[in-house]
């Protein structure tokens, strides 16, 4: 039996003035309901009580009947119910230790969005009309939807730069496993080069943030001069947001092209299980690491591999990939960051990144065959532990 992958197709659209007002009102109501429900659940938690989705849904009905929150009746009820479902998912992930405790939504910092299920929109002949609206959205169809497919969920959002997007979730029968290749490759991420493969190929780091650093600094200086709460400050903030949006778009486009090629050409991809949230605490490298976007690269690699029948193997971050000779297996004591090439006692000369990628490949093959995690090497090549060897040397 063939199972189709659910995939979101995201398009930009240009709302009319009336549609923009209606959607902005909906965003505000969604944020209000989410925050009210989160406050109620947090207060109940202090009393050692739990409130589920059904109880918050009953609260929503009561809120709509009050004079203070009567404006909630002016927008579609479906996005409000979906906000409560999202909050329920947030608490479920928190109790399962997959995420942090849900946080309140902010008007400026949180993403403005609203989710519509099939009962709250109409999609006919390529025209999408949302509830409470008389005209369809003016969508820029940058690519067609799969033929004969109807969206099950529609999410409308507005980014910080003021651009409007609609995301349609539907089953995509075009996502099929790629033909098996049998190729296995180790992928080492870095800053000088974004990726280094075990084949010796190096992918240049485009450093998008460095390219637009002067433009961003100028926009931020201009923003700092504006008075708080003024219209000019809002305009200056919008300029800064547009620069950030341009950076994010270019970075995302490059990662999509890169991960698609890697998944298409290789059967198994071996990466290092990095903790990026700890690495960005380094003040000297935080900007460069954030610009490289290693977490997003891994996320794209994993979901595309799942789509197309590929495998991604993550190896323990404490394994000494860089200091271990990929030819003879000798482990060096230390390897400063400024050392880019080194020669082993066996005579092999290594490029630092290529050697790490080859060790990643070997470790990934061991994980695939044995089905167990790879631990850092703690024994010398002779097979005896270093502690035991020192004890033997002290014996008369």
Q: What is the DSSP code (8-state) at residue 53?
A: H
Least Cα distance to 191 among 280, 281, 324 occurs for 280
With H, G, I as helix, E, B as strand and everything else as coil, classify residue 159. coil
CA distances to 39, 62, 71, 73, 107 from 68, in Å: 17, 11, 8, 12, 19
Other residues' Cβ atoms within 10 Å of the Cβ of residue 276: 15
Q: What is the DSSP code (8-state) at residue 74?
A: G
Is the Cβ–Cβ distance between 160 and 244 less than 8 Å? yes
Q: Does residue 170 surpass a pLDDT of 60?
A: yes
Give the residue carrying structure tokens 């290789």.
266
Beta bridge partners of residue 385, listed in sequence order: 379
Q: Does residue 387 surpass a pLDDT of 60?
A: no
CA distances to 255, 278, 342, 346, 352 from 338, in Å: 27, 21, 11, 22, 10
The token pair that represents 167 in the structure block:
């995301």
What does the alpha-carbon distance between residue 245 and residue 14 come to, in Å, rounded to a whole number? 17
pLDDT one-digit tens code per residue, 304-317? 999 999 999 988 88
Tell me what pLDDT residue 371 has: 54
Q: Does residue 31 surpass a pLDDT of 50?
A: yes
Q: Does residue 261 surpass a pLDDT of 50?
A: yes
The set of residues, in sequence order, having a beta carbon less than 8 Å from that of 99 and lying 6+ positions away, is 90, 93
Tell me what pLDDT residue 349 has: 80
With H, G, I as helix, E, B as strand and everything else as coil, classify residue 88. helix
Q: Which helix (H) or strand (E) holds 290?
A: helix 286-292
Instruction: Spell out the domain ranges in the chain.
Output: 5-172, 177-206+243-384
What does the alpha-carbon distance between residue 37 and residue 80 come to, in Å, rounded to a whole number? 11
Say if strands 127-130 and 5-13 run parallel, antiparallel, or are unpaired.
Answer: unpaired
What does the alpha-carbon distance between residue 188 and residue 196 come to, in Å, rounded to a whole number? 5
What does the alpha-carbon distance between residue 101 and residue 42 come to, in Å, rounded to a whole number? 10
- Residue 370 pLDDT class (50, 70, 90 cuts): low
CATH architecture of 177-206+243-384: 2-Layer Sandwich (3.30)
| Catalytic residue set | 188, 272, 353
Q: Does residue 76 surpass a pLDDT of 80?
A: yes
- 288 versus 3: the higher-pLDDT residue is 288
From first CA to last CA, the distance across the chain in angstroms is 71
Whole-number average pLDDT of the chain: 87
CA distances to 31, 32, 71, 126 from 131, in Å: 18, 19, 16, 16
pLDDT one-digit tens code per residue, 278-330? 888 888 889 999 999 999 999 999 999 999 999 999 888 888 877 788 788 77
For the chain, what is the radius of gyration of the CA atoms? Answer: 26
What does the alpha-carbon distance between residue 206 and residue 353 come to, in Å, rounded to a whole number? 17
pLDDT one-digit tens code per residue, 327-369? 887 787 777 777 778 778 787 788 888 888 888 888 888 766 5
Least Cα distance to 223 among 242, 237, 244 occurs for 237
């Amino acid at each position: 039996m063939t199972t189709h992958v659910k995939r979101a197709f995201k398009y930009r659209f240009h709302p009319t003035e009336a549609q923009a007002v209606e959607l902005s009102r909906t965003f505000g109501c969604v944020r209000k309901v989410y925050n009210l429900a989160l406050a109620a659940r947090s207060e109940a938690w202090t009393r050692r009580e739990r409130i589920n989705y059904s109880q918050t849904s009953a609260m929503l009905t009561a809120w709509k009947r009050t004079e203070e929150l009567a404006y909630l009746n002016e927008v579609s009820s479906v996005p409000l119910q979906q906000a409560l479902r999202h909050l329920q998912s947030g608490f479920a992930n928190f109790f399962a230790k997959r995420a942090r405790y849900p946080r309140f939504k902010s008007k400026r910092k949180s993403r403005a969005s609203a989710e519509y299920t099939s009962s709250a929109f109409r999609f006919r002949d390529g025209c999408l009309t949302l509830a409470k609206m008389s005209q369809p959205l003016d969508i820029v169809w940058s690519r067609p939807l799969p033929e004969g497919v109807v969206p099950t969920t529609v999410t409308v959002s507005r980014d910080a730069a003021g651009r409007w997007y609609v995301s349609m979730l539907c089953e995509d029968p075009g996502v099929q496993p790629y033909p098996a290749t049998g190729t296995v490759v180790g992928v080492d991420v870095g800053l000088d080069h974004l990726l280094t493969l075990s084949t010796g190929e190096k992918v240049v780091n485009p450093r998008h943030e460095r390219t637009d650093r002067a433009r961003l600094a100028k926009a931020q200086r201009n923003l700092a001069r504006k008075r708080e709460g003024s219209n000019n400050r809002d305009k200056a903030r919008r300029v800064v947001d547009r620069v950030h949006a341009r950076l994010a778009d270019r970075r995302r486009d490059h990662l999509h092209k890169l991960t698609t090629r890697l998944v298409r050409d290789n059967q198994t991809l071996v990466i290092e299980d990095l903790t990026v949230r700890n690495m960005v605490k380094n003040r000297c490298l935080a900007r460069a690491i954030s610009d490289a976007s290693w977490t997003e690269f891994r996320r794209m690699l994993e979901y595309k591999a799942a789509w197309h029948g590929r495998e991604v193997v993550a190896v323990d971050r404490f394994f000494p990939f860089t200091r271990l000779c990929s030819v003879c297996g000798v482990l060096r004591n230390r390897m400063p960051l400024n050392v880019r090439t080194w020669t082993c006692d066996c005579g092999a000369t290594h490029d630092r990144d290529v050697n790490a990628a080859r060790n990643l490949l070997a470790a990934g093959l061991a994980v695939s065959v044995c089905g167990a995690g790879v631990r850092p090497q703690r024994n010398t090549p002779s097979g005896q532990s270093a502690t035991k060897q020192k004890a033997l040397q002290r014996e008369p």
